[in-house]
């Protein structure tokens, strides 16, 4: 028996226990000791899109829970209606939706659906998935195999599927061409290199986050990147899966972040903001040709999870989506998010500790460096971005330490500031003022 542990939950970080949350409302969270925090982190995992305690969502939950929460033999009106409204929210020609309970399950589903599409299309040799380094697609073994976040993979490496990875579009630390004046999109061409290396006849899909989250918070690809990737995928008959678990549902100021880049993917995966954390929910949105191939073939996509599409979570998703649309929150995320990124740049962009401020909308990423000229990162053990986040928390503001670290052989220690879409400009001002103080504090500690 263990010796009287303070907590018997097997937490992720056993050395740094988080405080316990008591309640939340709007953009604020209270811990059990009564401390109030301004939540510029969207619940830490970048989930809260519409804010806490929205009455329309609470009403929809109560109403649906009273009717039926689960009945796996049947579909339900909330599931059918959410699929219709999500299809309207998604790019043209993407009208079919499979629901899951979260983002990892959505990516597992997309990976298997890509494979199944080729089985149904008479090309059964196509089964490989290509990912990118500095990406995160989830912690289940399939999604982790596609993931290029080395620290999250390292313990499980012998168990992972042999998915290949292309270079990330990481302009700040590009080792290919972006450091010269003329970026020639070598990182996009690297997708082609990997597909050719794997053999196009074996490759089913390429998966990427349009704007990167946990593995390189706020990494935005160079102009033309996704157009080139789309061309490559088309040339080699490879499906393009965009992982919008974090960047989707309006966070970047477009319904889906891929829309900034003028490209229509084949599959979109969703999670997090789709339910704003009120209930576990994820989704895969598929291009019509994929649905048609299955419908005209076996008629079966033999895959699923018990809770996928449950009426309660779908009722929540529907209420959240309607709330986003009713209050024009996507435009607001773009507008106030643009202000957020500008203000962060103005406040700390030139600080000796800060290498880069990047991102889109309510998805801001900041990289800390020990030397701005050489871009030398701090030793991982110093945990500089986590320290900045802790200093903000001590001052009552929550931001996102992204845990990307640099002990993985991939340089760059980044953190995020990713508030709910309902943040006011005054909330941004307060967050940025606290962030500037936290950065100054940590710089003084390191001096």
Binding site for ligand PLP (CB under 6 A): 45, 102-104, 107, 136-138, 209, 213-214, 243, 245-246, 271
Q: By the 8 A CB rule, do 291 and 271 touch?
A: no
Nearer to ligand PLP by Cβ, of 137 and 391: the residue is: 137
Specify the residue, 159 or 196, whose C-beta has the smaller distance to ligand PLP. 159
If you ran DSSP here, which 8-state letter would residue 26 be given? B
Least distance CB 417 / ligand PLP (angstroms): 16
Between the alpha carbon of residue 301 and those of residues 102, 109, 116, 295, 309, the distances in Å are 19, 10, 7, 9, 15
**DSSP letter at 157?**
G
Pick between residue 283 and residue 357 the one whose CB is nearest to ligand PLP.
283
Percentages of the chain per state (helix, strand, coil), in multiples of 5: 40, 15, 40
Closest approach of Cβ 135 to ligand PLP, in Å?
8
The CB-of-223 to ligand PLP minimum distance in angstroms stands at 22
Among residues 218, 272, 233, 227, the alpha carbon closest in space to that of 102 is found at 272
Smallest distance, ligand PLP to C-beta of residue 44, A: 10
User: In the complex with ligand PLP, which residue's Cβ is closer, 282 or 377?
Assistant: 282
| CB closer to ligand PLP out of 152 and 391 | 152
Residue among 268 and 315 whose Cβ is closer to ligand PLP: 268
CB of residue 413 vs ligand PLP: minimum separation in angstroms? 18
Q: Which residue, 183 or 267, has its beta carbon nearer to ligand PLP?
A: 267
Q: What are the structure tokens assigned to 344, written together?
A: 């962060």
Closest approach, Cβ 408 to ligand PLP, in A, equals: 17
CB of 107 to ligand PLP, least distance (A): 6
In the beta sheet, which residues pair with residue 414? 367
Shortest separation between residue 104's beta carbon and ligand PLP, angstroms: 3
- What three-state secondary structure class fits 284? strand
**Strands 282-286 and 96-100, sheet pairing:** antiparallel
Half-sphere exposure of 49 (CA within 13 A, CB side): 39
Nearer to ligand PLP, 213 or 250 (CB): 213
Alpha helices in 271-328 (DSSP H): 288-296, 311-326
| Minimum CB–partner distance for residue 340 and ligand PLP (Å) | 19
CA dihedral 394→395→400→406, nearest 10 degrees, is: -60
- From residue 88, alpha-carbon distances to 82, 134, 236, 306, 380 in Å are 10, 31, 29, 26, 44
Residue with the shortest CB distance to ligand PLP: 103
Q: What are the angstrom distances between the C-alpha of 316 and each of 54, 101, 282?
A: 11, 12, 12
244 contacts 49 by C-beta, under 8 angstroms: no
State which residue, 139 or 288, has the beta carbon closest to ligand PLP: 139
- From its phi and psi, is residue 388 left (phi > 0), alpha (psi between -120 and 50) or beta? alpha
């Amino acid at each position: 028996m263990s010796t009287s542990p303070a907590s018997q939950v097997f937490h992720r970080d056993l050395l740094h226990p988080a405080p316990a949350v008591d309640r939340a409302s709007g953009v604020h969270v209270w811990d059990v000791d009564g401390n109030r925090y301004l939540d510029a982190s969207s619940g830490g995992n970048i989930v809260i899109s519409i804010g806490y305690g929205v009455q329309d969502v609470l009403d929809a939950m109560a109403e649906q829970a009273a009717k039926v929460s689960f009945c796996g033999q049947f579909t339900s009106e909330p599931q059918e209606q959410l699929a219709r409204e999500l299809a309207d929210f998604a790019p043209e020609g993407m009208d079919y939706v499979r629901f899951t309970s979260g983002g990892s399950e959505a990516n597992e589903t997309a990976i298997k659906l890509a494979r199944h599409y080729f089985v149904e299309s008479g090309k059964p040799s196509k089964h490989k998935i290509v990912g990118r380094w500095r990406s995160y697609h989830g912690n289940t073994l399939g999604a982790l195999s596609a993931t290029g976040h080395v620290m999250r993979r390292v313990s499980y490496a012998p168990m992972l599927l042999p998915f290949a990875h292309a270079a990330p579009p990481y302009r700040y630390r590009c080792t290919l061409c972006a450091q010269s004046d003329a970026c020639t999109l070598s990182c996009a061409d690297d997708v082609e290199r990997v597909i050719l290396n794997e053999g196009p006849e074996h490759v089913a899909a390429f998966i990427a986050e349009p704007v990167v989250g946990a593995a390189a918070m706020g990494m935005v690809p160079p102009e033309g990147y996704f157009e080139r990737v789309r061309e490559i995928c088309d040339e080699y008959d490879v499906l393009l899966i965009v992982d919008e678990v974090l960047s989707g549902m309006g966070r970047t100021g477009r319904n889906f972040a891929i829309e900034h880049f003028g490209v229509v993917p084949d599959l979109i995966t969703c999670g997090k903001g789709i339910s704003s954390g009120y209930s576990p929910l994820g989704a895969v949105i598929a291009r019509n040709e994929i649905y048609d191939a299955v419908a005209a073939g076996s008629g079966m996509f033999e895959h699923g999870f018990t809770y996928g599409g449950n009426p309660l979570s779908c009722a929540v998703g529907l209420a959240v989506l309607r709330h986003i649309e009713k209050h024009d929150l996507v435009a607001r995320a773009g507008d106030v998010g643009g202000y957020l990124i500008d203000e962060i740049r103005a406040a700390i962009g030139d600080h000796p500790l800060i290498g880069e401020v990047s991102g889109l909308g309510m998805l801001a990423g900041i990289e800390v460096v020990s030397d701005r000229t050489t871009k030398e990162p701090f030793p991982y053990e110093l945990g500089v971005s986590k320290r900045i986040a802790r200093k903000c928390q001590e001052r009552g503001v929550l931001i996102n330490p992204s845990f990307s670290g640099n002990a993985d052989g991939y340089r760059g220690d980044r953190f995020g500031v990713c508030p709910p879409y309902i943040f006011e400009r005054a909330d941004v001002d307060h967050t940025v003022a606290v962030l500037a103080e936290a950065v100054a504090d940590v710089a003084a500690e390191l001096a």
